[in-house]
C-alpha cells in the first residue's frame, strides 16, 4: 500500500474513533504527501482525486467539530486550485480538461455545505451562478 493510502486509512480510523487531533494529523500528512506526488506527475488523476479526498476529509473533520469556517476553507482549497488551472495559460489542454472535470467533484460538497451552513447572500449567489455554469457545460457535452 502507498504511504498516502496508509495515512488516509489511519486518518479514517482515528476519525471513526473520534480521535480528532490524530485524524487531522494523518489527513494533513496525506494531503501534503499527495500534493508533492501530484506536482511531480500532474497527469495522475488518482493522485489528484486522493488529494481532493484528503482535503474533503479535513473539511468533514472540522465540520463535525463545529468549525464551519475552517471546514469551508478545506472545501475551497481544491476547488480554487482546479478553477485556477482551468483558466491558467501555463497548463496544457489536457490538464485544463482534467481540472474542469475535477471542478464537478469539488463543487458539489461546497453546494451541500451551503445548505447546512448559512452563507452571505453574495456567496450564495456566486454558488448558484457557478452551478448554472456547470449545468450549462453538462448540456453542451451531450
Q: What is the pLDDT of residue 121?
A: 79
Rounded distance between C-alpha atoms, residue 67 and residue 142, angstroms: 40
Helix (H, G, I), strand (E, B) or coil at 1: coil
Boundaries of every domain in the chain: 3-141
Confidence of residue 142 (pLDDT cuts 50, 70, 90): very low
Query: 3-141 maps to which CATH number?
Result: 1.25.40
**Quick one: pLDDT at residue 126?**
78
Q: Which pLDDT band holds residue 134 (cuts at 50, 70, 90)?
A: low
At 105 the pLDDT is 92
Summary mean pLDDT of the chain: 89
| pLDDT, tens digit (0-9, with 9 covering 90-100), for 108-127 | 999 899 989 987 877 777 77
Q: Which of 66, 79, 80, 63 is nearest to 27 (CA)?
A: 63
How many CB atoms lie under 10 A from the CB of residue 108? 13
Statement: the pTM of the whole predicted model exceeds 0.75:
yes
Average pLDDT value for residue range 89-103: 87
Grid coordinates representing 54 are 484528503
End-to-end CA distance of the chain: 38
How do residues 35-83 score in pLDDT, each as one tens digit? 999 999 988 999 999 999 999 999 999 999 999 999 999 999 999 999 8
Distances (CA, A) of 36 to 17, 29, 142: 28, 11, 35
**Confidence band, pLDDT 50/70/90 cuts, at residue 141:** very low
Greater confidence (139 vs 5) lies with 5
What is the residue-wise DSSP string for 15-56?
HHTT-HHHHHHHHHHHHHHHHHHHHH-TT-HHHHHHHHHHHH
Amino acid at each position: 500500500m502507498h504511504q498516502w493510502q496508509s495515512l488516509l486509512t489511519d486518518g479514517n480510523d482515528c476519525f471513526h474513533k473520534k480521535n480528532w487531533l490524530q485524524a487531522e494529523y494523518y489527513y494533513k500528512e496525506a494531503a501534503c504527501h499527495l500534493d508533492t506526488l501530484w506536482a511531480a506527475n500532474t497527469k495522475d488523476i488518482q493522485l489528484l482525486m486522493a488529494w481532493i479526498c484528503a482535503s474533503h476529509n479535513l473539511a468533514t473533520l472540522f465540520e463535525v467539530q463545529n468549525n464551519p469556517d475552517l471546514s469551508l476553507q478545506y472545501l475551497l482549497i481544491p476547488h480554487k486550485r482546479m478553477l485556477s488551472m482551468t483558466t491558467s495559460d501555463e497548463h496544457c489542454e489536457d490538464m485544463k480538461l482534467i481540472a474542469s472535470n475535477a471542478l464537478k467533484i469539488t463543487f458539489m460538497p461546497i453546494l451541500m455545505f451551503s445548505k447546512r451552513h448559512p452563507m452571505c447572500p453574495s456567496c450564495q449567489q456566486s454558488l448558484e451562478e457557478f452551478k448554472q455554469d456547470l449545468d450549462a457545460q453538462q448540456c453542451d457535452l451531450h
